Amino acid sequence: MTEHLIDRFLNYVAIDTQSNEDSGTSPSTMKQHDLAGLLVSELVELGAEDVVYDRDYCNVYAKLSGEGEPLGFVAHMDTSPAASGANVKPRIIENYQGGDPLLRENHFPELAEHHGETLIATDGTTLLGADDKAGVAEIMNMIQYYSEHPEIRHRSISVAFTSDEEIGHGTLHFDTDRFGVREAYTVDGGKLGVLEYECFNAASAEVKIKGRSVHPGDAKDKMINAIYVAMEFNGFLPAIERPEHTTMYEGFFMLSTMEGGVDEARMKYIIRDHDRGMFEMRKGLFGRIATYLNEKYGEGTITLDIRDTYYNMAEVMKDHMDMIDRVKEKFAKLGVNCVTLPIRGGTDGAALSFRGIPCPNLCTGGYNFHGRYEFASVQEMKKCAELLIELVKIDD
């Protein structure tokens, strides 16, 4: 059922598909086509139908017909710009018992849960790319399984492999009509058994401060130092509500860049909250601070530009909880304990949910994404792959 899964995964991580947030092109890096092209030829070889390679945006779509309403699966092909994905040399650690020089249990205590498993780790110079090539491999494994077992009844399947997810463009050019489903799962999570259908509401805010630059010798009662006003603005935000002090459902403000001088300053923030009302209040607080400072220093001192980035998919999912129950039931059948956890971020599924395709996120068996400590558990990846097979299986 999963005998080719790991070879498939190792093939995919050997291909560098790092995306680049500064490129401005679509896809952001041409090398993502190297994996897209391989997946297209493998899908054709496996007998998938309607295999479409959208070369303009580097997205791949394919179907495998079965019975009834198609179920969709999405994974992304790119890896994070945060660490190199070139020349990935995976280390296979059989019967892991701790003591690895890179994966130190005092740094990553959750490793203790993986004793006895086979882990795939990096050589310490690159990321691994389990995010999200584990998801890609698990979906491809499902296609292979059902194409080799036409006698096993299953729902129709639609799959999509996207580019540039890591730079927030995963669904920018996503063709929902071509995908053609009314429900789908992203396969882009971590620990086995974790199911995610709640994410942040997210906005970005840019605060521009116009100061009044005067020669310091003559500045009395004239100078307005934009940097001090910027610090004053930031001082109104509760220091306890920052990413480094929050967890689970707690929202935050984060100052991500700050630059400027006496005459002008600029700050960029991200705003996050699972609760929509709290999210609106957080944005409202920015407005109140701006109003106050404009009254104090003069109209036009502060200009605010707040943009929503994505919303909590729980808002959509609450009408599709059967999709969550189905995963729990299939996990139970596989003997896996299923837990639902809020995502402290967003997913492509959040964007798709608001475009009419409710889309929770399934686990892949990968850990420590976006860096050189990334690893995957072979046993967990196999269970995740079995879950996908189970999700579309029709029991007689």
Which of the residues are catalytic? 78, 165
| Backbone φ/ψ region at 155: left (φ over 0), alpha (ψ -120 to 50), beta | beta
| 201-210 β-sheet, strand order | 252-260, 264-273, 201-210, 302-310
Q: How many angstroms separate the CA atoms of 337 and 45, rounded?
A: 35
131 versus 241: smaller Cβ distance to Zn ion: 131
Q: Which of residues 132-191 bind Zn ion (CB under 5 A)?
A: 132, 188
By DSSP bridging, strand 339-342 and strand 302-310 are unpaired
Which lies closer to Zn ion via its Cβ, residue 225 or residue 361? Answer: 361
Q: How far is the CB of 140 from Zn ion (least distance, A)?
A: 16
Interatomic CA distance for residues 266 and 360, integer angstroms = 36
Q: Which range, of 128-136, 179-187, 323-331, 383-391, touches Zn ion by CB under 5 A?
A: 128-136
Residue 88 tokens, joined: 């990935």
How far apart are the C-alpha atoms of 356 and 181, rounded to whole Å? Answer: 9
For residue 379 the two structure tokens come to 């046993």
Question: Which residue, 188 or 273, is less far from Zn ion as judged by CB?
Answer: 188
- Closest separation between CB of residue 187 and Zn ion, Å? 9
Q: Which residue, 188 or 374, has its beta carbon nearer to Zn ion?
A: 188
Q: Which of 131, 196, 198, 386 binds Zn ion (CB under 5 A)?
A: 131
Task: Identify the burial level of 22 via C-beta atoms within 10 angstroms of its C-beta, where 0-12 means exposed, 13-18 middle and 19 or more buried.
Answer: exposed
Which residue is listed with tokens 């997810």?
165
Cβ-Cβ contacts under 8 Å for 314 (sequence gap 6 or more): 197, 198, 199, 274
Segment lying near Zn ion (by CB under 5 A), choices 61-69, 123-131, 200-208, 258-266 = 123-131
Nearest to 184 by CA among 312, 36, 307, 361: 361
CB 355, min distance to Zn ion, A: 19
Q: What is the DSSP letter of 83?
A: S
Q: Would you give the binding string for Zn ion spanning residues 226-265, x where CB under 5 A is met?
A: ----------------------------------------
State the maximum Cα–Cα separation within the chain, in Å, rounded to a whole number: 87
Q: Least separation, in Å, of the C-beta of 120 and Zn ion?
A: 16
What type of residue sits at position 390? E
Q: What are phi and psi of 193, to 5 degrees?
A: 100, -15
Closest to 13 measured CA to CA, from 92, 94, 93: 92
Number of residues that bind Zn ion (CB under 5 A): 3
| CB-nearer residue toward Zn ion: 343 or 378 | 343
Q: How far is the CB of 80 from Zn ion (least distance, A)?
A: 8
Task: Give the range of 130-138, 226-234, 256-264, 357-365 binding Zn ion by CB under 5 A.
Answer: 130-138
Does residue 78 touch Zn ion according to CB under 5 A? no
Instruction: Specify the residue, 131 or 390, whose C-beta has the smaller distance to Zn ion.
Output: 131
State the residues that interact with Zn ion by CB under 5 A.
131-132, 188
